[in-house]
C-alpha cells in the first residue's frame, strides 16, 4: 500500500507530461497547417482583467487589484477599438464579476484569439518594492517568480470544483506549479516578443521602473492555445505606486503604453511594417504626471497637487527666461559633507551639491525636459537611491515643479 501511495505522484507527473507533449504537438500541427497571410479573420485579442467579484486580488490601503486591473483593461480595449479597425477585442469581463481561471482561457480559445493578455497588480510584504514586470509561461528562474505565480494561482481556491478543473493541481505546491510550465512553449517566442515591447513601453511611455520580462507558471495561461502573457502593472502595496495605479491618469498611461506595445506586436505578427505618426505616438511621455512625479514634502511646501502639470512641448522655441528652467534629480541628503566623487556616487559623472538648512543635498543632471529627469529618477531608484526625486531650478533658485511647468507654458 505504501509503495502504491509513493508511486501516485510520479504517475500524476507522467500523465501531465504526456498530456502536455500531446497538447504541444497538436498546437504545433495546427500552426503549421495554417497558411500564413491567407486568413480572412480579424486579428483577435482577448483582454483579461485579473480577479473580480468576491476575489479582490491584492490591495493597498485604498485600491483593490480587481478594480485597477479592470480600469486599465477597459482603457486598453478602448484604445484598440478606436485606433485599430482591423482588430477584434474580446473581454473576459467588463464588470466586477468573478470568473474561474479556466473560464478565462476558454473565452480566449473559443474566440480563436491571436493573443491573450492578462492584466494584474502586484504585492509585496516590503512596501518599498515598486515597478512593473511581465510574465510568460515558463520555468521559474527565481523563488520570487514562483511566489508571484503561487499568489495569482491561489484564486482557484475560491472556485467550487477546482481540483477537478485543474487535475488536482495544488496552488500551494512548488512542485506542482513548476510541472505544468511546459504547456505554453509552442508560443514562447511570440509571448516574449510582446512582453519585451510592453516593458519598454512601461519605461519609456509611462516612466515606470522596469523590473523585466520573467517566466513562471500561471494557471490562467495554462490551456490557452495562442501567445499569452500576464503583466503585473505595479505594486499596490507601495503607497506611491498605489496612488498612481488607482488614478485615472495612471491607468490611462498604463493602457496607452500597453496599446503602443500591442500595435507594434500586431504589425509584426501579420508581417506588416507601418510607421505611425498619430497623436498617440507623439504624446509626451508621462503626460499629466500628477501621481508619478510626487515630490518630497520639502519640495512643494504644502502644495500636494500637480494635476495640471504637463511636459513641455519641445517643438516650440523657448524664451531666454524659459531656457533658465532646468530639472535635476536629488538622490541623497546628509548633515555631513561628502565629496561629489565619493564612492557612494561611483560611476556618476554629473554630481553636484547644495547646502540648505544645515543639510547637504546631492543632485545629478541638468535636464531641459521633465520626462528626461523622471527617467533618471527611476534609473537611480533602481540602483539603490530609493528616495530619489525630481527638483526644478530657475537659474540657481530652486522652485517647485508646478512653478517650473507654469513658466514653461507659452
Q: Could you read off the pLDDT of 203-247 as tens digits, one per residue? A: 988 889 899 998 876 777 777 888 999 999 999 999 889 989 998
Which residue, of 259, 282, 305, is where some domain finishes?
Answer: 282
247 and 320, same domain (yes or no): no
Is 168 in the same domain as 228? yes
Q: Which three cell numbers stand for residue 365?
A: 543632471
The pLDDT tens digits for 84-107 are 999 999 999 999 999 988 889 899
More confident residue, 170 or 208: 208
Per the domain annotation, does 287 fall within a domain? Answer: no
pLDDT of residue 285: 76
Residue 120 has pLDDT above 90, yes or no: yes
Q: Give me the CATH number covering residue 167.
A: 3.40.630.40
Cα gap 3→9, rounded to integer Å: 11
Residues 243 and 161 in one domain: yes
Lowest mean pLDDT among 147-151, 249-253, 299-303: 299-303
Residues 6+ apart with CB under 8 A from 47: 73, 76, 77, 89, 90, 91, 92, 117, 119
Q: How confident is the model at residue 52 (pLDDT cuts 50, 70, 90)?
A: very high
Whether residue 229 is contained in a domain is answered as yes
- Stated pTM of the model: 0.58
Percent above pLDDT 90 for the chain: 29
288 lies in some domain: no
Q: Are residues 112 and 239 in the same domain?
A: yes
Range of the domain at 376: 297-408
Average the pLDDT over 119-125 and give the result: 94
Residue 92 lies in a domain: yes
Bin 383: left if φ > 0, else alpha if -120 < ψ < 50, else beta. Answer: alpha
**pLDDT category, 168, cuts 50, 70, 90?**
low
Instruction: Report which of 200, 245, 254, 256 is spatially closest to residue 82, judged by C-alpha positions.
Output: 256
Question: Count of domains in the chain?
Answer: 2
Band (pLDDT 50/70/90 cuts) for residue 353 is confident
Phi (first) and psi of residue 202, to 5 degrees:
-55, -45
Task: Decide if 314 is inside a domain.
Answer: yes
The CATH number for 365's domain is 3.30.70.1070
Specify the residue for cell string 480600469: 71
For 348-366, what is the mean pLDDT?
81
Indicate if 161 and 304 belong to the same structural domain: no
153 with 18, same domain: the answer is yes
Specify the 3-state DSSP secondary structure of 81. Answer: helix
pLDDT at 150: 53
Half-sphere exposure (CA, 13 Å, Cβ side) for 34? 14
pLDDT of res. 177: 45
User: According to the per-residue pLDDT averaged within each range, which of 39-48, 84-93, 144-153 is highest?
Assistant: 84-93
Is the pLDDT at 65 greater than 60? The verdict is yes
- pLDDT digits 0-9 by tens, 276-335: 777 888 887 775 543 344 433 333 322 222 233 333 333 345 455 555 788 889 988 888
d(CA 141, CA 13): 20
Residue 45 shares a structural domain with residue 185: yes
Provide the angle, in degrees to the nearest 10, between the axes of the packed helices 239-246 and 248-269.
70
Is 211 inside a domain boundary? yes
247-327-200-73 Cα dihedral, nearest 10 degrees: 10
Both 126 and 238 in one domain: the answer is yes
Q: Which three cell numbers stand for residue 69?
A: 486591473
Binned at pLDDT 50, 70 and 90, residue 8 comes out as very low
Ranges 6-20, 90-104, 147-161: which has the least confidence: 6-20
Cα–Cα dist 150/174, whole Å: 8
* Distance, C-alpha 318 to centroid of its chain: 34
- 25, pLDDT greater than 50: no
pLDDT number for residue 273: 73
Task: Provide the mean pLDDT of the chain.
Answer: 75
Grade residue 152 by pLDDT with cuts at 50, 70 and 90: low
Residue 196 pLDDT grade (very low, low, confident, very high; cuts 50, 70, 90): very high
232 and 311 co-located in one domain: no
Of 225, 253, 282, which residue sits at a domain end? 282
pLDDT at position 367:
85
Between CA 142 and CA 147 the distance in angstroms is 9
Are residues 134 and 226 both part of a single domain?
yes
Flag whether 346 is in a domain: yes
- Domain's final residue, options 282, 314, 346: 282
- For residues 388 and 23, the model is more confident at 388
Q: Which carries the bigger pLDDT value, residue 118 or residue 362?
A: 118
Strands 228-235 and 397-399: unpaired
Quick one: pLDDT at residue 18?
39
289 domain-assigned: no
Residues 83 and 182 in one domain: yes
Residues 318 and 216 in one domain: no
Q: For residue 82, what is its C-alpha cell?
A: 478606436
Amino acid at each position: 500500500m505504501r509503495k502504491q501511495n509513493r508511486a501516485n505522484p510520479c504517475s500524476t507527473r507522467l500523465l501531465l507530461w504526456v498530456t502536455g507533449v500531446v497538447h504541444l504537438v497538436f498546437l504545433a500541427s495546427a500552426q503549421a497547417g495554417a497558411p500564413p497571410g491567407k486568413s480572412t479573420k480579424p486579428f483577435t485579442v482577448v483582454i483579461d482583467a485579473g480577479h473580480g467579484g468576491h476575489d479582490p486580488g491584492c490591495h493597498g490601503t485604498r485600491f483593490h487589484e480587481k478594480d485597477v486591473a479592470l480600469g486599465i483593461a477597459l482603457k486598453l480595449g478602448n484604445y484598440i477599438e478606436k485606433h485599430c479597425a482591423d482588430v477584434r477585442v474580446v473581454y473576459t469581463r467588463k464588470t466586477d464579476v468573478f470568473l474561474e481561471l479556466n473560464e478565462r482561457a476558454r473565452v480566449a480559445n473559443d474566440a480563436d484569439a491571436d493573443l491573450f493578455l492578462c492584466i494584474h497588480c502586484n504585492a509585496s510584504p516590503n512596501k518599498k518594492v515598486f515597478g512593473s514586470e511581465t510574465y510568460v509561461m515558463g520555468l521559474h528562474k527565481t523563488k520570487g517568480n514562483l511566489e508571484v505565480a503561487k499568489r495569482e494561482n491561489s484564486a482557484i481556491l475560491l472556485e467550487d470544483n477546482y481540483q477537478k478543473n485543474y487535475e488536482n493541481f495544488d496552488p500551494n505546491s512548488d512542485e506542482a506549479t513548476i510541472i505544468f510550465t511546459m504547456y505554453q512553449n509552442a508560443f514562447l517566442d511570440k509571448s516574449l516578443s510582446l512582453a519585451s515591447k510592453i516593458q519598454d513601453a512601461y519605461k519609456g511611455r509611462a516612466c515606470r521602473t522596469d523590473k523585466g520580462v520573467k517566466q513562471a507558471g500561471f494557471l490562467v495561461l495554462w490551456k490557452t492555445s495562442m501567445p499569452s502573457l500576464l503583466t503585473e502593472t505595479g505594486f499596490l502595496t507601495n503607497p506611491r505606486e498605489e496612488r498612481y495605479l488607482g488614478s485615472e491618469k495612471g491607468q490611462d498611461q498604463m493602457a496607452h503604453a500597453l496599446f503602443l506595445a500591442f500595435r507594434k506586436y500586431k504589425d509584426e505578427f501579420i508581417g506588416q511594417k507601418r510607421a505611425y505618426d498619430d497623436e498617440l505616438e507623439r504624446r509626451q511621455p508621462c503626460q499629466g504626471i500628477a501621481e508619478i512625479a510626487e515630490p518630497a514634502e520639502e519640495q512643494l511646501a504644502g502644495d500636494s497637487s500637480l494635476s495640471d502639470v504637463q511636459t513641455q512641448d519641445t517643438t516650440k522655441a523657448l524664451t531666454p527666461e524659459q531656457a533658465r528652467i532646468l530639472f535635476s534629480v536629488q538622490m541623497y541628503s546628509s548633515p555631513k559633507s561628502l565629496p561629489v566623487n565619493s564612492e557612494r556616487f561611483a560611476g556618476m559623472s554629473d554630481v553636484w551639491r547644495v547646502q540648505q538648512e544645515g543639510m547637504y543635498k546631492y543632485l545629478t543632471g541638468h535636464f531641459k525636459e521633465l520626462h528626461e529627469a523622471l527617467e533618471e529618477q527611476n534609473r537611480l531608484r533602481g540602483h539603490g537611491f530609493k528616495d530619489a526625486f525630481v527638483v526644478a531650478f530657475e537659474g540657481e533658485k530652486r522652485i517647485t515643479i508646478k512653478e517650473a511647468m507654469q513658466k514653461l507654458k507659452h
